[in-house]
């Protein structure tokens, strides 16, 4: 078996997507290995969880550095020390500079809780409810200099129920995020999706892979059925 691709995760908070990636990487024949978790917030709950899994961690608060460049240089040093080839942003709440991103172009991915390009930025679930969409979801994309703007690699759709609140919707989207992220990291680590001329290019796709781009079916909440019924002719 070829060596697994060393992957680091950047977080700022609870780290549930980080945990989903750690769980995915524990699967037999998974092509990526999680070598370390960095947080810009020492209090991030995800750091303790990672450490409990025996994963290297680094807390690098932005306030400890004189500039964004110095902060990113410190992150870069840690990533190099771990030999990280892929970087997954998982609830990392700080914009990375164009320089950082360009040095690792095609090897930094992010998960965002909406079907991009809709609802970039924060508060995606309340904005989706306000807009009255019937489908919401999550996106994993290659990171480029613009916020939530890089080429889309994979998306999972989550039906919106008329009774949803931002919290109920967030929890179903989060469940979809946990399923999608591990699958997308697999594709990136296997080289089955690459960033070429500003697009995510997929090769060697299976029917199973395609299904995952539309909607992860396990764990569907019965409340979804109420919403889907609205579309029954
Ligand atoms: C997730 O909803 C992710 O999409 C967004 O921030 C949240 C992080 O949650 N970027 P967690 O820390 O992974 O639990």
- Per-residue pLDDT tens digits of the chain, which is 233 residues long: 469 999 999 999 999 999 999 999 999 999 999 999 999 999 999 999 999 999 999 999 999 999 999 999 999 999 999 999 999 999 999 999 999 999 999 999 999 999 999 999 999 999 999 999 999 999 999 999 999 999 999 999 999 999 999 999 999 999 999 999 999 999 999 999 999 999 999 987 777 777 666 555 444 454 444 444 433 33
Catalytic residue among 53, 71, 112, 178: 112
103 assigned to some structural domain: no
CATH number, domain at 79? 3.40.50.170
Domain final residue pick, 94, 122, 154: 94
Domain final residue pick, 94, 122, 157: 94
88 assigned to some structural domain: yes
- Report the b/e string of 70-109 with b at 16+ CB within 10 A: ebbebbbebbeebebbbbbbbbbeeebeeebbeebebbbb
Distance 194 CA to ligand 1 centre (A): 23
Query: How many domains would you assign to the chain?
Result: 2
Q: Is the CB of 153 inside a 6 Å radius of any atom of ligand 1?
A: no
143 assigned to some structural domain: yes
* Residue 119 structural domain: 111-233
């Amino acid at each position: 078996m070829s060596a697994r691709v060393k992957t680091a995760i950047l977080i700022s908070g609870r780290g549930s997507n980080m945990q989903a990636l750690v769980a995915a990487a524990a699967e037999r024949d998974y092509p990526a290995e999680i070598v370390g978790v960095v947080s810009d917030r020492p209090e991030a709950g995800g750091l303790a969880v990672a450490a409990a899994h025996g994963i290297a961690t680094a807390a690098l608060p932005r306030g400890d550095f004189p500039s964004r460049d110095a902060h990113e240089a410190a992150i870069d040093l840690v990533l190099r020390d771990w030999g990280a080839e892929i970087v997954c942003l998982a609830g990392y709440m700080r914009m990375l500079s164009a320089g950082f991103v360009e040095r690792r172009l095609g090897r930094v991915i992010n998960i965002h809780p909406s079907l991009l390009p809709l609802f970039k930025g924060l508060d995606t679930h309340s904005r989706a409810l306000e807009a009255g969409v019937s489908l919401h979801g999550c996106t994993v994309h290659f990171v480029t200099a613009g916020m939530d703007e890089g080429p889309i690699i994979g998306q999972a759709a989550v039906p919106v129920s008329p009774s949803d609140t931002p919290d109920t919707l967030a929890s179903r989207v989060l469940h979809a995020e946990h399923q999608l992220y591990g699958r997308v990291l697999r594709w990136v680590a296997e080289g089955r999706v690459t960033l070429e001329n500003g697009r995510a290019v997929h090769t060697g796709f299976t029917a199973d892979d395609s299904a995952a781009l539309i909607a992860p079916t396990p764990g569907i909440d019965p409340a979804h059925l109420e919403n889907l019924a609205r579309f029954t002719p």
